[in-house]
Each structure stands twice: as C-alpha cells, then as structure tokens.
Structure 1
Amino acid sequence: MDQLTVRADLIPFHEIVAYCEQATLHSWVNFAGNILIFMLFGMLLPLLLRGMSNPWSKVFMLSFTFSLGLETSQLILTIGTFDVDDLILNTFGGLLGHGVLRWLQISIAPKTS
C-alpha cells in the first residue's frame, strides 16, 4: 500500500493544472503526447473493428481500459507512476481521435444530391 501512495497520483486534474501553470517544454510534451498517442488509437479502432455498434462508447471504454492497463503496469513494474490525469488525457485523446476520423469521413465522403 505504501507504493501506491508514493508512486501514484490519484487526484484528478492535479497534473493537468500543473502542466498549464508550469508551461515547460517537458510538461507540454507530456500533456500533448498523452492525447496524440491515443488520438491514433481512437482513429484506428473503428477502422480495425469495422461495423461496430455504438463506436463512441466502444472507443471510450477501450481507450480507458487500455490506458488503465498501461498505468497499472507502470505501478506494478515500478517503471513510472500511476497518474489518474493520464487516464483522463488518454481517454480524451481516444475520443478526440474518433471525432477527427468521423469528421474526415463526413468531409471526404462523396456528396449525393
């Protein structure tokens, strides 16, 4: 239990606020990296799982679950810290990526008149 308190940040938006206040290159790379990596995940999921029903909820659940697995493995393997803000940013990134994909599909789709 001691490792959980030392190697985990369980306060939502704690690091996100710190990123905005510090505005260092490292903080912005970390902030943007969490979102961008999962944007790709959110774009690829619907392409790999064509025809899935309710894609928004599936992208949400799979992004959250995959991120939770990554964060938990960092905690267990002591190779990083478990950060609830990473869960938030990663899940948001997955949903944002899905939104961009949907926008592209709608924008590029041939117009029928």
Structure 2
Amino acid sequence: MKKSLLLKRLITMIVYLGELLFVFYIGIGYFKSGAMFDVVGLFLIASIFCIPAGVATCLIASTMQEYDKKVRTVRAFVFAVFLFYALILFYLLFMGRYRLRAWTIGNVGFNINAFNINLVPFRTIATYIRQYFSGSINKSIIIENLMGNLFVFAPMGLLLPCLFKSLRKFNKFIIAMIIILVAVESAQLLTNTGSMDIDDIILNLAGAIIFFAVWKLHVLQQLLKKFYIVEM
C-alpha cells in the first residue's frame, strides 16, 4: 500500500476516533449535569461533529479505486448526518426545555381543550411583526421564533435531494415536505408539546425551499459530484 493511502486512512481513523470520544464526552456531561441544550448549542455540536467527519469520509473515499464504492461510502455518511439531524429535530420539537414540561407533568395525550390551533395563513407572522414594531414583546423572542421556524427544517432542502433521487424534482420535494411538516405539527398537537400553526408550516417550508434552491445551483452540484455525494 502506498504511503499516501496509508496516511489518509490513518488520519481518517484518528478523526473518527476523536469524534466518538467527543460524542461520548458530550453525552456523559449531559447526563451528569441534567442540562438542556438550546438550539445554538445543538447545531454547534452538530457542526463540530459533522464537518471533521465529513472531511475524513471524503478522504477515505479518495483512497478507493471503484467509483461506486466511493459514492456508497459518502452517501452512507450523508445518511448518518440525516439521522443525526432527525434526532436533533426530535429533541428540539418534543424534548426541549419547554416541550419537556408536557411530559413531566403528565400532560400528554389527546386533550382537545389544550389544543392551540391556527389555520389562518400569516396570522401569527403578522402578530409577531406588529409586536416587533410596537415593542410590546422582547424583539429577540420574535426574531428567534420567526428565524428559528424558517431555518429549523432548512437542512431538509439539502439532505433529502442528496439521499433520494425522486425528491430532486421540485414538485415531489414540496409534497414530501408538506407531509413531513403536517405530521410533525399533528404529533406536537396530539402530545401537547406544541401547537398546530399553519404559519409554522409556511416558515418551515420556505426555509426548506430556500436550501433546495441552493442545492440546485450549478456550482454546488459540481461540488457535490466532486465529493461523490451526487452521482456524475
């Protein structure tokens, strides 16, 4: 085996080992302290985990001779990232600091009196905008809610087309996202860990569409092909 190939594989093993130790350290710290991660903290941890692991995966793929094997290796990593992201979403949407109260006080289950439903498009968004300009509520809360809803599902616009060829068509991607978002909103409603608000769906979908548009860019497509994420 050439020294360069051996060096690349050694570096990859070191990075993977470091990532496992990092996850173990974070997990131990979390269970010992009983702390609740916030959105920024979670995505920071995800970045620290995914970026080095992604570089290592591309590095190990570059040592392989067969093109199909390279694609399978990198796609397996992308799928792992998707699962990691799905776990973060589940935590934020159902197990976060404010969501957890519904579970700890036993307020979980079908309770129509506890439901908070808005099916009027842009009602919540308009309310936030009015409150922002009137100063009747902390502006940071408004920004966090609006921007959080806009970007929390945005990675779907990159991950779903990378993993599923059928979702690389805009109409199919939109249908899939609407199904996912309605399912999530319904699950939050039925578990009393959130409300069903069509404005949440609108913002979530808008964020995913923005990232899907970015995914469609020719420059990004060439980059994805270069790193074996999308087939040539």
Query: TM-score under structure 2 normalisation?
Result: 0.42
Superposition deviation, residue 32 in structure 1: 1.0
Q: RMSD of aligned C-alpha atoms? A: 2.2
Measured in 2, the distance between the counterparts of 1:53 and 1:70 equals 19
Q: 1:71 aligns with which of 185, 198, 212?
A: 185
SS at match of 1:80: coil
Distance (whole Å) between structure 2 residues aligned to residue 73 and residue 63 of structure 1: 15
Does the Cα contact within 8 Å between 1:64 and 1:90 map onto a contact in 2?
no
Amino acid at match of 1:31: L
- The equivalent of 1:47 in structure 2 is 162
2:193 corresponds to 1:84: no
Choose between structure 1 and 2 for higher RCO, CA contacts under 8 A separated by at least 6 residues. Answer: 1
Instruction: Give the unaligned 5+ runs of structure 1.
Output: none
How many residue pairs get matched?
106
Residue type of the alignment partner of 1:15: T
Does 2:128 match 1:19? Answer: yes
Percent of aligned positions that are identical: 26
Instruction: Output the TM-score relative to the length of structure 1.
Output: 0.81
Q: Quick check: 1:37 aligned with 2:149?
A: no
Q: Secondary structure at the match of 2:149?
A: helix
Q: What is the aligned partner in structure 2 of residue 61 from structure 1?
A: 175
Distance 1:79 1:53, change over 3 A: closer
Deviation by residue 1:19-65 (Cα, 9 ceiling, x = unmatched): 2222321121111111212210111110011x327621122111111
Unaligned residue ranges in structure 2 (runs of 5+): 1-110, 133-138, 224-232
